Chain A
Amino acid sequence: DSGVTQTPKHLITATGQRVTLRCSPRSGDLSVYWYQQSLDQGLQFLIQYYNGEERAKGNILERFSAQQFPDLHSELNLSSLELGDSALYFCASSVDSRGGEETQYFGPGTRLLVL
Chain B
Amino acid sequence: QKEVEQDPGPLSVPEGAIVSLNCTYSNSAFQYFMWYRQYSRKGPELLMYTYSSGNKEDGRFTAQVDKSSKYISLFIRDSQPSDSATYLCATDTGRRALTFGSGTRLQVQP
Asked if B97 and A2 sit within 8 Å, CB to CB, the answer is no
> Are A109 and B32 touching (Cβ within 8 A)?
no
User: How many Å lie between the Cα of A43 and that of B91 in the bound state?
Assistant: 12
Residues on B with beta carbons closer than 8 Å to the beta carbon of A105: 46
Within the complex, the shortest CB–CB distance from B95 to chain A, in Å, comes to 6
0 or 1 for each of A46-57: is its CB under 8 Å from B? (1 = yes):
001000000110
Complex contact A107–B97 (CB within 8 A): no
The size class of the interface chain B forms with chain A is 20 to 34
Judge whether A42 is part of the interface by a CB distance below 8 angstroms.
yes
- Contact, CB under 8 Å: B43 / A101: no
Report Cα–Cα, A104/B44, bound state, in Å.
10
Specify which chain A residues have a CB less than 8 angstroms from the CB of B51 in the assembled complex: 100-101
B interface residues, Cβ below 8 angstroms from A: 31-32, 34, 36, 41-46, 49, 51, 88, 92, 95-103
Q: Does A65 contact B (CB under 8 A)?
A: no
Contact count A vs B, C-beta below 8 Å: 54
Contact between B96 and A55, CB atoms less than 8 A apart: yes
Chain A 70-95 interface mask (CB, 8 Å, partner B; 1/0): 00000000000000000000100000
Residue numbers in B under 8 Å from A102 (CB-CB): 92, 96
Query: Which of A2, A56, A100, A101 has the most chain B CB within a 10 Å cutoff?
Result: A101
Cβ-defined partner of A108 (8 Å) among B34, B42, B46: B42
Q: Is A16 an interface residue (CB 8 A)?
A: no
Complex: chain B residue closest to A104, CB-CB:
B98
Binding site for B on A (CB under 8 A): 2, 4, 33, 42-45, 48, 55-56, 58, 90, 100-109, 111
Taking a contact as CB atoms under 8 Å apart, the answer to whether B49 and A45 are in contact is no
Please pick, from A42, A44, A48, A108, the residue contacting B96 in the complex, using a CB distance under 8 A.
A48
Q: B88 to A43, Cβ gap below 8 A? A: yes
Q: A43-B88, A101-B32, A101-B51 are in contact. Are A109 and B43 (CB under 8 A)?
A: yes
Establish whether residues B92 and A45, one from each chain, have CB atoms under 8 Å apart when the complex forms.
Answer: no
Instruction: Name 20 interchain pairs, CB-CB below 8 A, sorted by A.
Output: A2-B45, A4-B43, A42-B103, A43-B103, A45-B98, A48-B96, A58-B95, A58-B97, A90-B43, A90-B44, A100-B32, A101-B49, A101-B92, A102-B96, A105-B46, A106-B43, A106-B44, A107-B43, A109-B42, A109-B43
